[in-house]
Amino acid sequence: MKRILYITGILLSASLWTHAQEGQLINVKVINESVTKNGREVNVKMTLDLTDMEIGNQKSVRLKPIIVAKTDSKELELPLVVVDGRTRNRIHKRMKALTGKSTVDDAYIVVRRKSNKKQNVEYSMTLPYEPWMAQSRLILREEMTGCLECEAGTLATEESLVKNTFLQLFQPQYVTTFVQPEKETIKVRNEIRAVRLQYRQNSYIIDPKFKNNQAKLDSVHNSIEVVKTNPDLTITGIYITGYASPEGTVAYNEHLSKNRAENFAQYMQKDTNVDASLWHVTWKGEDWNGLRKEVLKHPKLLKIDEVIKIIDECEDDQDVCEQRIKDLVPPEIYQRLLNEMYGPLRRNEYRIEYNVKEFSLEEAKKQLKIRPDLLSMEEIYMVADSYGKDSPEYKEVLLIAAHTYPDKTSAIVNGANMEMERNNIAAAISMIEKSKAVHTPEALNCLGVAYAKNKQYDKAKETLKRAIDAGNMEAKINLEQLARVIADL
């Protein structure tokens, strides 16, 4: 019959117990036990206290330590311990002397049980580590014989659980410290938008009645009014930049973008009644960088690779560059650029720059729901702290900070830590990878930890090394932790 004995304690208990009525496992005590992993080897040590065992002269007990996989799919028998009664021990010795071998030659040790005397067996075994051993269990399996190695005399096998988890994998303690937010003495914000007005040929005069100009002008007016009428905001400047498309000469387009930008600024200044001193105008002429982006939006354009090559190599005479595009065959290539891709380049961009007042805690809580971008990182964290670090609201606020300021190191690292704490590892990785702050030491360390938790060990190792090179000392600790995790694979 089978019996299951449980040993309590962190590794093993001090003794085995059983509900069974037969066998000797109930009388075996396990003490000073340990299972340790050293590199690719596992060391198993334990002391078997046989003091309470009572074995008849003719009997022999075989104690087999066995590692059983967590899924029961595999097991490994370790060398057994044979405990003989007095007569059986003589039989084993006689057999060895007469034939040169015995049925217990494969035993770790063969001992004769000395009745009523204290008796221990020190068991120590080193074996190669295999990944399946992790989370497995260690059992003792007992077989008892009552006659000279005869089948009929072999009692049913009994088992006792020695160690519920034979080998626990290393549990890393990665370090990603909370990053204090950067102090923002004056809260400066800006909104960048583009307006593409329709002009009559070779003209820079704004005509609200021409095509859909009125709707676009109204949109600009409203965006400025929203800032102007908000008591929490103070406009510090409105910056206009004019752009042109490449058709025509470079000199002509430079002049055209200048006039259109200046005319647009004058028109909007009167329309919004914003102090004239706050308006600033620049112009860029032909926008070849913008042209490249527009071309890439049309991947089916004929000879697109040649068009991109001409744009990329255009560093000096842009008139010559445009002529090279015109000369491409078929001529429909240039015609498509002219009709579909040049239009968005003829535009004015405007940036409204403004300062934001400082908010009290209650004001900040309200702003967090409607315009978190008007809060400084300090103000957002002030709201978070008001809920307490263990509250779900605290974690949610930190995630809001990360989404509001995706390029600030403190916001990204702390937000990614929150995601990892919620076991959203993929979200943490994506958050850091998409941020412009990804190359900062703190972000690299956090990303390395996220990779490690996602079992992307090669990426984790490379990223943590970059963090160390960038001066992050936490990454050194994390790299050491990672090495121990990899050693268990």
Please state, in angstroms and as integers, the Cα–Cα distance from residue 186 to each residue in 136, 234, 348, 375, following that order: 59, 12, 28, 11
pLDDT in tens, 113-164: 988 899 999 999 999 998 888 888 888 888 877 654 444 445 556 777 777 7
pLDDT in tens, 165-221: 777 778 899 999 999 998 898 999 999 999 999 888 778 899 999 999 999 999 999
Closest CA to 145 of 27, 59, 53, 80: 59
Same domain, 348 and 227: yes
Are residue 208 and residue 317 in the same domain, yes or no? Answer: yes
Return the SS3 of 423: coil
Residue 218, beta-bridge partner list: none
Question: What angle, rounded to 10 degrees, do the helices at 318-326 and 304-312 form?
Answer: 170
The answer to whether residues 124 and 207 belong to one domain is no
Of 325, 354, 383, the domain-final residue: 354
CATH of the domain at 194: 3.30.1330.60
Q: Is the peptide bond prior to 406 cis by the omega test (within 30 degrees of 0)?
A: no
Q: Are residues 158 and 32 in the same domain?
A: yes
The pLDDT value given to residue 469: 97
| Coil, strand or helix at 7 | coil
CATH of the domain at 388: 1.25.40.10
| Residue 368 placed within a domain | yes
Residues 215 and 335 in one domain: yes
pLDDT in tens, 131-143: 888 888 888 888 8
Q: Note the pLDDT tens digit of each residue in 25-70.
A: 778 888 888 888 887 889 999 999 999 998 888 888 999 999 999 8
Domain shared by 476 and 372, yes or no: yes
d(CA 359, CA 365): 9
Q: Are residues 377 and 334 in the same domain?
A: no
pTM of the model: 0.69
Tokens at residue 226, please?
A: 């929203």
Helix (H) or strand (E) holding 488: none
Query: Is 292 part of any domain?
Result: yes
Range of the domain at 332: 187-354
> Is 446 in contact with 176 (CB distance < 8 Å)?
yes
340: in domain? yes
Dist CA 278 CA 272 (whole Å): 12
Are 333 and 262 contained in the same domain?
Answer: yes
Residue 182 in any domain: the answer is no
Q: Are residues 245 and 313 in the same domain?
A: yes
**Distance from C-alpha of 109 to C-alpha of 124, rounded to nearest angstrom:** 11
| One-letter amino acid of 249 | T
Query: How many folded domains does the chain comprise?
Result: 3
Six token digits for residue 106: 């494969």
The residues pairing with 75 across neighbouring beta strands, listed in sequence order, are: 68
**Cα dihedral 480→481→482→486 (10° resolution):** 100
Closest CA to 432 of 416, 414, 419: 416
